[in-house]
Structure 1
Amino acid sequence: MVDYLWSFDCGDTREDLTGLYNATAVNGAVTISPDYSGQGKTLYLDRKQNQYIILPRSLNLTLNTSFTVTSWLLIAGYMTKTILSDCNSFNPICITFLITETTMNIDISNWDNATIIQTAFVSFQNYGCQACWMHVAFSFNHQTGSTIFYFNGMQIGEKYLNMTVATLSQPNKAKATYIGLNAVTNAQPFYGLIDQLSVLYAVKNASVILYEATTVCHYTFDSEDINDGWGPNNIRARSQHVYRLWSNNKSSLLFNDSDSYFQSSGFTLMDSSDYEYSISFWLRLVKYISWEAFSSTTKNKAMALLYDGNTIFHIHVPTNPDGCIADISSLSQFPEEEVLLDAQTFLMVKKVEQDQILNKYIIHLQVSDFKFRGQQHKQDNSSVRDTFISSTDNPSDDGEIHEEI
């Protein structure tokens, strides 16, 4: 959700992804790898070389327009650094976004004599870290004058800017807009790395800023290309023998081959920099098994525990409305009446236990939908009957898993 974005991932420091604000690199400004995500490229500016970027025209940021400016930064040194500085011919002011080792600043300056008319700043001293990437956001609401500062996705302060500054036209003068240098004073050069610099002509929602500041990659699988990245960095993945399933206007991935995989890689920077991170996803684990996978079945738990395998499936089997179950004792090594479930019977994992003494897993399954097979015999009216299935298979997980047999 941006109007203009300089991602610096195209290998050209000048490129705005909209193509409307392709700029000019000054004094050898270059992009280097990796960026904050460890995947792409980032803009490197060296103040000793007075490096910066000139945009072709003004972004028209004024106190009469709401805006949000965001960027990833890795700063070096302790001097005040300019992130973005914008001037235009329809307003006698310039708006400059700066950062120091402890503060985020917005300066409103007179572009004729560089006088600072207003300034707003907040401290991030309690939130920052040395020599690490940080996400900053400046959000201005022209209706209220509210200016909210965000650091790493968190709101750290709110200030108010006075909107009564005169707006006299300056038709015979022109000022540039710079990335990495103060456009009014030609001072306060940036020193360090700038990545994913964006401008939006609106107040960006706090939840959106939090998403941009905390999400490295996001895969929805809702497009024809399942490898497309939908996160703020558009990081592509790669996959093999993975199929797209579509349901309720949403899609998911089906892994049904032994060599199926979906891979998004290159995130070593997060670990090497000691960043905290988490990975989350929705799963529905489906395991297709046949009766041949089991050694035997019994309704006697003690007998089941004598089995030499390492996994016992404890299935709670409800009877049908007539109280009938199927006699499949001929299929078992145990001389007992047992239950055979038809194909397309779904079992849901209710609990997983581990018997440390016997070195066995006991997986409790609940039949959610079933059919009976074989000759039926009248039994008592109990609503649930227990069946133990011994297996050499290891349990998949202790989450909510659907087994289909």
Structure 2
Amino acid sequence: ITSTTTSSTTSSTTTTTTTTTLAPINPLTIIQWLFDGDFNDVYGTYNGNLVNNSNVTWMSPGYAGYGSSVCFLSANYMLVNHYLNFTSISFTISGWIWIPASLSLSGNFIVFFGHCAVPSQDMCLHIVINGGRVFLGFFSDDLTGGTSLTSSQWYHVAYVYDQSSLRQTVYLNGIDDGSRVAGGSYKGTASTLTVGAIPSFGTGVTTNNGFIDKLTFVSRVKTSAELLDEATLVAYYPFDNSYTDLGPNQFINSTTVSTMFDSSGRFNQALLINSTNSSYFQTTSFYYLGQTKYPYSFSLWIYPFVNNGTILQVSSSNGWCVPMIGFDISGRLTIQTMGSNGIYAASLTSEILPLNQWTNVIMTYSTINGIQLFINGTFMVGNNTATSYSASGQITTITIGTCLSPSTCAVNTTIIIPSQFRGKIDELKIFSRELSLSDIGQLAQVTSLYTFGPSNLWQFDNNALDSISNLNGVGVNSPSYVAPGITGSGYALNLNKTNNQYVTVAANQIFANASFTVEMWIYPTSLSDIFYGLFSQHEASATDRLLHLILRYQLLYMGFYSDDLQGATAVSTTNTWYHVAFVYDYRSRTQIVYLNGYQDGLRTQAGPFLGISGAITIGTFFDSANIIQPFNGYIDQVSLTMRAKSASEILDDATLTTWHSFDIIPLQDSGPLGLIVTTNDVTLIAGRVNQALNFNSTSSYYQIQSFVLLGTSNHAYSIALWVKRTSTGGGTLVHLSTQTNGQGWCVTLLGFRSTGEIVATNWASSGQEVVGPVLPINVWTHVASTYSTINGMRFYINGIYNGTTGVMSYIAAQQAVILTLGNPIAGGSCNSSSIVTSVYSGSLDEFRVYSRELSATEVYALANP
């Protein structure tokens, strides 16, 4: 990296300029050890060697049904004598682990990965299973997962560190199992890596290891969706002129008989099965399908020539065999599985699938819901009278297109006809989880089915009305309203606990046997008591009949009564807005709480909630003794959505402050807060994504108000947009001010120098800026500026890191601020560093502001829609 720093001083300001000419943060590092009889890195760089003796235990096959996995003895480990630079990087470490039945979990470290020269705080990375739980350790700055592991089972584990936010997260089988913000950044400088032991710990730690398979390191934050697929998308066959598995496990054990590829697939090509004799595709190595009561799902597109035969069969080498998807004797599509008392099935009641037409078919199984069949994303039929799955206990095989052993495969009990299927198959996916409704909608290409918005919204703009539906509230004991709320322009509900103030909603909303999400912004002003109610419905003080979403000992708490979840991170009263979310997924019986967009607690086998009556209260709850427990502080933007929102939706609700796609008239904020927009002399033209905003007049501007968190000192933020300028020279892209005329406390955050370079600025005790390249005329360029106290301001061009100020403070207006695009209006004399504060000429598209620092991966994704 080459940079030049200069300072210039005027009568009112000092500007520090950093011009960066070469700027990769750190090149992406990917390492993968398969442990297929050796310790080599798949990519050939970080090969390992065995230390102390030559004896390890190999188990074959490994998780993927081929190759092997390794178990290090207590005296040995793998050493990688190759330096890995951990300076200022995020990382994800993931893999598979098997704990032998003979191994005691208490008091033992099962060491997955180590980078530790000295055991001192934030200097010693140890990725382990500790006391039977996943454990991400920096040394005295550590995270322990919430779920206890058991022996004799494969688990997928993942450990994630986001350097920009210092957030540590651990995942178990693709599900977030714990998260915290580390006390400090990881600063380890060890010159080697270890697997199976942490030598620098000495004799103070007892190391006994399980089997490890497919250990992967990547120097970025993998998304929760990536890790869920890595853990549970067992295989994926697109059948695009190939039988290759493109899933994360890349199974290689497949065979075919009398099949072809057809050029007219649902997506690209498809598998063609069109023989009256034995014609099929077969793949093996499925571990979880052989485990009793373990959830699974199949998704595929079918194009039947006839409504007859077996589409998908599961079998194992010990003779266990079940046709799971196919047609019954009447030609009705049927699903079935093996329960503890034999086959149980579910068939379409009257519908016959159309021939010579593509149909999406999904079968799911869990012990909660039994088997369920979805056609084109819509639930059709299920069977939960029996919810067991009696599996073979062995590695299983999937056969597509026929039943290979009709004389023995579930003989006399199968509803599906064990015969040859004729037609086309496309996009076969096998999962080791029960798919969610949103998953099913996406796979069937009908995402709108399960992604509708909130059903109720209380904005508290000087009243307690529901702005979407009819669940209007009434203030009790005269609560007041305070301005501004989190939207910067409206109001928020102001509650005084001493006066027992809250809002009650008399209209009945039934939460029983349903999924739901409750979100709100809160600003506590006092937290001296134990309980502070946020949202509740009290039918009775009995199990699963008292819904209470509260703060308990300053922690988020989602209660059904004696069936409750407590979060892990304490809120404070430091003049801070918090976004809180409470999610109940009825389908999976899961309670989840989120703080500022991040999962703060999860509990399975919860509920369902059973209450069917009682008023909703906002800002209090009545406990089991009927004692009122009000909140003390401000509450704003309370929303109720009668479905389980996804983690990515919650993160956007909490941190996507504003989003302007410029696609429709009237121009408006499409973000969750719906900020106020004012425009002047702007038009819509063809954009980078659909339409764009065009500035072609000296009076053109686009103004958004108001931003509460962006006006708070040292609060993280990110700004991203597409730019296509039509002239050279200077110009203002993003101007920040406290007044609508561009004045007051004001600074230009993004714009151009007179010589055409694009510049991102920030304000500390003086102006700070990063200077980018000269952008080409009439070409769309993606630009992003991010800030955090850890990394300072970073600047990205077309998704590629361009430069940074280094660590710096952000001194803000300490009040709600306004952003004006394309024009400083009357704020031309505000601090702009080296930006020329003239009117911008050109177009803008997809303008977004976040109240967090986006990662390099997220910025890259925005730049590559």
Smaller-chain TM-score range?
Answer: 0.5 to 0.7
Match in the other structure for 1:143: 587
1:70 aligns with 2:522: no
Selected match of 2:615 from 176, 181, 190:
176
Change in CA separation of 1:20 and 1:183 when aligned onto 2, cut-off 3 Å: farther
Change in CA separation of 1:263 and 1:163 when aligned onto 2, cut-off 3 Å: closer
Q: Give CA deviations for 1:321-344 in whole Å, capped at 9, x if unaligned.
A: xxxxxxxxxxxxxxxxxxxxxxxx
Selected match of 1:94 from 546, 570, 575:
546
RMSD of aligned residue pairs (Cα, Å) = 3.5
Selected match of 1:261 from 697, 701, 708:
701
Q: Secondary structure at the match of 2:637?
A: strand
Alignment of 1:160-199 (within 5 A): 160-163=604-607, 175-184=614-623, 185-199=626-640
Selected match of 1:233 from 651, 673, 688:
673
User: How much does 1:92 deviate?
Assistant: 7.2
User: How much does 1:268 deviate?
Assistant: 5.7
Provide the rounded CA distance (Å) in 2 between the counterparts of 1:349 and 1:253. Answer: 13
Match in the other structure for 1:243: 683
Q: Does structure 1 conserve the Cα–Cα contact (< 8 Å) formed by 2:584 and 2:590?
A: yes
Larger Rg: 1
Provide the rounded CA distance (Å) in 1 between the counterparts of 2:665 and 2:780. Answer: 33
Match in the other structure for 2:692: 252
Provide the rounded CA distance (Å) in 2 between the counterparts of 1:119 and 1:395. Answer: 54
Q: Does structure 1 conserve the Cα–Cα contact (< 8 Å) formed by 2:538 and 2:622?
A: yes
Match in the other structure for 1:332: none
1:17 aligns with 2:467: yes
| Structure with more contact order per residue of length (Cα contacts < 8 Å, sep ≥ 6) | 1
Match in the other structure for 2:455: 3
1:120 aligns with 2:565: yes
Q: State the aligned residue count.
A: 288
Q: Does structure 1 conserve the Cα–Cα contact (< 8 Å) formed by 2:546 and 2:611?
A: no
Q: Give CA deviations for 1:316-371 in whole Å, capped at 9, x if unaligned.
A: xxxxxxxxxxxxxxxxxxxxxxxxxxxxx978799xxxxxxxxxxxxxxxxxxxxx
Q: Does structure 2 conserve the Cα–Cα contact (< 8 Å) formed by 1:59 and 1:88?
A: no
Q: Secondary structure at the match of 1:39?
A: coil
Provide the rounded CA distance (Å) in 2 between the counterparts of 1:254 and 1:276. Answer: 29
Selected match of 2:648 from 185, 207, 219:
207
Q: Does structure 1 conserve the Cα–Cα contact (< 8 Å) formed by 2:520 and 2:580?
A: yes
1:83 aligns with 2:523: no
User: How much does 1:152 deviate?
Assistant: 0.4
Provide the rounded CA distance (Å) in 1 between the counterparts of 2:520 and 2:655. Answer: 13
Q: Does structure 2 conserve the Cα–Cα contact (< 8 Å) formed by 1:120 and 1:161?
A: no
Match in the other structure for 2:773: none
TM-score (norm. length: structure 2)? 0.31
User: How much does 1:95 deviate?
Assistant: 0.6
Q: Does structure 2 conserve the Cα–Cα contact (< 8 Å) formed by 1:37 and 1:270?
A: no
Provide the rounded CA distance (Å) in 1 between the counterparts of 2:521 and 2:631. Answer: 13
Change in CA separation of 1:396 and 1:101 when aligned onto 2, cut-off 3 Å: same
User: How much does 1:88 deviate?
Assistant: 4.7
User: How much does 1:22 deviate?
Assistant: 0.7
Q: Give CA deviations for 1:105-155 in whole Å, capped at 9, x if unaligned.
A: 12223xxxxxxx222111213x76733000111111112221111110111
Provide the rounded CA distance (Å) in 2 between the counterparts of 1:6 and 1:208. Answer: 19
Q: Secondary structure at the match of 2:671?
A: coil
Unaligned 5+ runs, structure 1 = 110-116, 290-309, 313-344, 351-393
Amino acid at match of 2:554: T
- What percentage of residue pairs aligned between the two structures are identical? 25
Alignment of 1:265-304 (within 5 A): 265-267=705-707, 270-272=710-712, 274-287=714-727
Q: Does structure 2 conserve the Cα–Cα contact (< 8 Å) formed by 1:94 and 1:108?
A: yes
Alignment of 1:217-228 (within 5 A): 217-226=658-667, 228=668
Unaligned 5+ runs, structure 2 = 1-452, 730-753, 757-775, 782-833, 843-865
1:59 aligns with 2:499: no
Provide the rounded CA distance (Å) in 1 between the counterparts of 2:591 and 2:649. Answer: 16
Q: Does structure 1 conserve the Cα–Cα contact (< 8 Å) formed by 2:591 and 2:602?
A: yes
Amino acid at match of 1:107: G
TM-score (norm. length: structure 1)? 0.63
Provide the rounded CA distance (Å) in 1 between the counterparts of 2:473 and 2:483. Answer: 20
Q: Give CA deviations for 1:134-187 in whole Å, capped at 9, x if unaligned.
A: 01111111122211111101112211354378x598xxxx63221112145242
